[in-house]
Structure 1
């Protein structure tokens, strides 16, 4: 069958008849045209019906049909041209596409079967038409709602605004612009803030953005200021808007013009203020113009207010309303003056005022000074007065003040005269000095001290007559006083007298100020201290000589005390040796004599040691440090208790008493005080010793107190003298130098020391540093 010899020849070897060949040619041509047109129709269909879920199969149909038409076209071609390989390839492609299409068609059969039927499509179409109709109606309703909303926004009696999430305006209605005096373009963003009243702007902006940051509602009363400076009070409020996801998208708010209510509120306040002022005026009228009167002149009737009657000590019903009432109570000497003034007022038709200051008798008998003033307010055609009104004012206090002022003026005049006399005759120099240092006023004593006549001194300044070496210190204090840093100052300085000598003076300067507190001038008091200065120089000279003598005496005492030690040691040593070597040959009297010799040698030794200690205190170079007196007192008392542990002594030491002093000298002071306290309480079974601190006139004072033997205060001045003792040595041993040493140590610290005591009631020793 595959033998090519069995195929029917074609092309130039065709054995077909021409009629048969034509039939094949025309048929294949028409098939090709039809096959090529069908894909175009399918393509057009697919483009128009993209909603068909299996549209891709139509594209495969189109490809299958195109290749099928191409095979028919190749049949025509091969009638003349034997291109059978090309024809075969096209047929193979057609076969492949056909098979693929058939397979694809089988795969999409379930989708095709799921396509709605015409009835179902009609039902769906009907539902879609219903939904479309509802959508159109909703659109119409929405449009109508938007129209109503737009109408409401246009006619709403409030300003409406919307903002974005950060608080910037993106919409305002016309009424908002009308209230705020802005255009919609200016009001958007932050432009609305431009017309806020300057006094409100910072507060409004701060609270607005605080609400935005916190996503909280906004409520505030504030003002807009229009270009013509009119003010509109508004009440602004806004709430947040949120999207479906819960995110804040902005604010929607309103502003309401509350100017009318604010105006009403202001008017109400003004009315209330006016009412209060009216009440105050009524009260003032009743208080100040208490003597109000209204006089009907032709009928000789007069209304006298209750206040006038109370002014004179009467109740309203105690005095009749009549001109005779006040004419009866006025001082007889003052009545003619009032009547004359009344006649002058009437004759001048009111040109001459009716005004008097007169006296009335009070109900209690005292005198009341009263201003009586009034005016005719009605006249008849003939020029006769018909009605006159006026008032009485109690000016007794003023009259009393005037009398007091007159008395004060008289007293001031007397004092001024006394001041002039004192100023001129004072025993010290007095001068008034200008702020520049020029002498304005001075007394004769100052001229005598300065050595210039008054006329010359008034042309000089204090700077010109002050000794050059003293001028700077004077100017420093002068400037300090002028600057208000001090109230007064006092210095010692020298004036250069006219004849060329100088005089020492003590100058005291004070500043006199105007009523407003500004400086006016200085008052200087000048005392001649030349004699005192000469005495001081002599005293200084004597003190220098005395100090030198004291140093020589102390050196001598130190040397003598030191030199006495050697013979004392020899006497003590030989006495002891004699007793040890020959004691058995001595009778009792001889032994007693030697014992007394040794005791006195020992006492002499202690006396020499105390003298040396006193001398050392006088010559010791002080080194100031922080000294804890409490700790030092505790240490010394512990040493004393160790020496006599059997004694029952209560100690009271104030804690942390710290001073700036020399530690060595402070040990000397406390050692002597505490040893004395220990010694003079030794005869008691129980005793108390106290160290503490107190304040006198804001200065710290330190003390050591005991409850021992005490002493008579009549002998207190002898306490701190060398070798002075107030008790018998047999009862309380000692040298009498310890307190003198204490006093020397305290004096070297610039302090003082004293004592208070009573016999058998203890003693307290005080000292300062």
Structure 2
């Protein structure tokens, strides 16, 4: 049945109870609706004719059974109708009371759901990681922003301890210490620390832990609001706000207990729903006084008798209170008691309908806890949170907003927001955008993070980072703004820009100086080399061994100097060289390098393992330099091995093609890794292996110019492997 048929059925019950049989259900295709419609048609005929009294027990039982099946959301128990002595007044009273009960229940469920939606609508849009932790340190909730920041899904994290998954080795004790402080009564705690993402990356985060108490001052949960501040630490990018959601809790009404009571208050009939609800069988409960369901406190207040007296005076009695089951456990019950009479007007007893609303009570408690959590989260949010309605009036204004703008909540609540935070030049555009969105559903700045100018209480203008989201609250829209004061960040960015420009200028001057000096040194070094060779030839005809040794030393060192000058010239040229990218064959690059090294003595005794390498979008000549240095180094540092092996291959990693050159040579100690790519930095002595300490610096410069990355892994006397990839764009 649809919603209109639902409401109409309630109206039918109430009108039939008044003797008005003109109202009917509209036609429909639902089987339950059709069956109820047919039975109501027969009921109308029966009720309209006094000559058919007493009413047919089986037919009335079937009618009420179908009505209860609908009205109690698929409740399938039967209503027992005894004898044939009940008249129209009895049935009318019962139908009227049932109609009112079901109508009130429908309204209560609707209003509860609407209230919960309004309470959770703000949290559904927050962009920070918002999680809840039990007092024992177990994750109980995990929003989408937590998944974005840490890489774990809610399914992977809920039920686990964050110190076993997210914490680094250094921060595990810190988390446990903070958790203990919260449990010992300390209020909200703000701190910055490090966390480990699912992909292994260590990030810096700002965290606010806040205790959440129920109305009995018991710690029930801990809210954790965290934000990735790695970008702020590095001054590279700003945090993004994204929507966070909390799940909507729903309850469904399951069963009713329906039974009769004699005029003295003793149970006279008992259905399966009552048995399921209370634990008493019909045989056990029949003849017992209804006080067995009442608590000791209720009995002392004479509530069992007062309930029956109220039903007699008012025609029905409704109550919501704790009741007892057979096993003495309590359940929260909503009940309606209605008297019924015989055709002489004599009291025959009472009918009672009871609904177990313990789960609803728990849900109400959860609603209260959720409200407290929401208020705590908003109050302690690291960003300013402002909520406005369709008129632009302020509905929420957290403490961070007070701190940013200088206005107190009581000063701005229900007032137009623009009066307090917006420069005059933006007001017209603000309202134009608001009206345009309400008319068309289009908002160019919604669900985006922008930078704009705001105004403090003292009229000072300053930069903010602003994210706005719209949410539906019933028939209207709410607009939630998340605001960060970025004044200090802007100052830092400006200073960083100036520093970068100054550093870039210094680098260019240094490169120019290096090029100039290196270029000027080439001629005299060549002259020394030439004259040294001539002198060497002359000394070869003499017996002066000491002079020969000295001359060989001069020639050897001038060669080193010439190589160093060439490397420095190459390094300085790289700073001014524009790369010429194209799709190149890396196989061809490697073949070219191997061909150039074939006359090298160490090369001749080295075994090479070369895989088929994917193409790359790169500068062909620069890639030759990269592989020339890496392969030469591999050959050189494995030359002392009995069976030197050099492997050249590739692998896929995070959509990047990673090329690598690996050897089984001398390797190096990874604790000196930070020196590996520095100019003139060498991890072996000249006596062990010759070199200038510039080759790997050149390789890194080339990879950097291709917007790639290079790294190495090594172990002493077990070899080294150099990996690199270049960007595809």
TM over 0.5: yes
| Aligned residue number for residue 373 of structure 1 | 336
| Aligned residue number for residue 707 of structure 1 | 664
Which TM-score applies when normalising by structure 1?
0.53
Q: Is 1:360 the counterpart of 2:151 in the alignment?
A: no
Post-superposition offset of 1:500: 10
Judging changes above 3 Å, is the alpha-carbon distance between structure 1 residues 567 and 437 closer, same or farther for their aligned structure 2 residues?
farther
Post-superposition offset of 1:334: 2.5
Post-superposition offset of 1:517: 10
Judging changes above 3 Å, is the alpha-carbon distance between structure 1 residues 749 and 518 closer, same or farther for their aligned structure 2 residues?
farther
Post-superposition offset of 1:300: 5.9
Equivalent of residue 287 in structure 2, options 311, 322, 334: 322
Post-superposition offset of 1:699: 5.0
User: Equivalents in 1 of 2:319, 2:394: separation in Å?
Assistant: 51
Cα contact 1:292–1:307 (8 A) shared by 2: yes
Deviations 1:566-620 (A, max 9, x none): 2222222222222222333342222111111111111111111111111111121
Secondary structure, aligned partner of 1:327 = helix
Q: How does 1:2-151 map to 2 (within 5 A)?
A: none
Post-superposition offset of 1:313: 2.7
| Aligned residue number for residue 392 of structure 1 | 354
Cα contact 2:613–2:649 (8 A) shared by 1: no
Which deviates further from its counterpart, 434-443 or 330-339? 434-443
Judging changes above 3 Å, is the alpha-carbon distance between structure 1 residues 429 and 482 closer, same or farther for their aligned structure 2 residues?
farther
User: Equivalents in 2 of 1:695, 1:484: separation in Å?
Assistant: 39
Equivalences, count: 478
Q: How does 1:319-718 map to 2 (within 5 A)?
A: 319-324=284-289, 326-335=290-299, 336-346=302-312, 348=313, 351-379=314-342, 381=344, 383-409=345-371, 411=372, 416=375, 419=378, 443-447=401-405, 458-459=418-419, 462=422, 464-465=424-425, 483=442, 488-493=447-452, 503=462, 505-515=463-473, 520-529=478-487, 532-534=489-491, 536-641=493-598, 643=600, 646-659=604-617, 661-684=618-641, 685-696=643-654, 698=655, 700-718=657-675
Q: How does 1:184-333 map to 2 (within 5 A)?
A: 284-286=75-77, 291-297=257-263, 302-317=268-283, 319-324=284-289, 326-333=290-297
Post-superposition offset of 1:664: 2.6
Post-superposition offset of 1:339: 1.2
Which deviates further from its counterpart, 270-279 or 757-766? 270-279
Which TM-score applies when normalising by structure 2?
0.56
Judging changes above 3 Å, is the alpha-carbon distance between structure 1 residues 331 and 713 closer, same or farther for their aligned structure 2 residues?
same
Judging changes above 3 Å, is the alpha-carbon distance between structure 1 residues 650 and 485 closer, same or farther for their aligned structure 2 residues?
farther
Deviations 1:682-706 (A, max 9, x none): 233041413314224x555443333
Post-superposition offset of 1:719: 0.8
Secondary structure, aligned partner of 2:297 = coil
Deviations 1:382-421 (A, max 9, x none): x541243333332222233233334444x25xx537745x
Structure 1: runs of 5+ lacking an equivalent: 1-265
Bigger helix share: 1
| Aligned residue number for residue 229 of structure 2 | none
Bigger Rg, structure 1 or 2: 1
Root mean square deviation of aligned Cα: 4.5
Cα contact 1:633–1:691 (8 A) shared by 2: no
Deviations 1:663-693 (A, max 9, x none): 3322222221222222222233041413314
User: Equivalents in 1 of 2:76, 2:574: separation in Å?
Assistant: 87
Cα contact 1:482–1:511 (8 A) shared by 2: no
Deviations 1:421-451 (A, max 9, x none): x58xx7x7665577898988774544469xx
User: Equivalents in 1 of 2:656, 2:456: separation in Å?
Assistant: 44
Secondary structure, aligned partner of 1:514 = strand
Secondary structure, aligned partner of 2:569 = helix
Post-superposition offset of 1:373: 2.8
Cα contact 1:331–1:358 (8 A) shared by 2: no
User: Equivalents in 2 of 1:541, 1:370: separation in Å?
Assistant: 72
Deviations 1:21-42 (A, max 9, x none): xxxxxxxxxxxxxxxxxxxxxx
Q: Is 1:733 the counterpart of 2:698 in the alignment?
A: no
User: Equivalents in 1 of 2:607, 2:501: separation in Å?
Assistant: 47
Q: How does 1:151-166 map to 2 (within 5 A)?
A: none
Judging changes above 3 Å, is the alpha-carbon distance between structure 1 residues 399 and 519 closer, same or farther for their aligned structure 2 residues?
closer
User: Equivalents in 1 of 2:586, 2:393: separation in Å?
Assistant: 56
Post-superposition offset of 1:739: 0.8
Structure 2: runs of 5+ lacking an equivalent: 1-29, 40-61, 79-253
User: Equivalents in 2 of 1:518, 1:642: separation in Å?
Assistant: 81
Cα contact 2:634–2:662 (8 A) shared by 1: yes
Secondary structure, aligned partner of 1:510 = strand
Judging changes above 3 Å, is the alpha-carbon distance between structure 1 residues 633 and 485 closer, same or farther for their aligned structure 2 residues?
farther
Cα contact 1:636–1:671 (8 A) shared by 2: yes
Secondary structure, aligned partner of 2:708 = coil
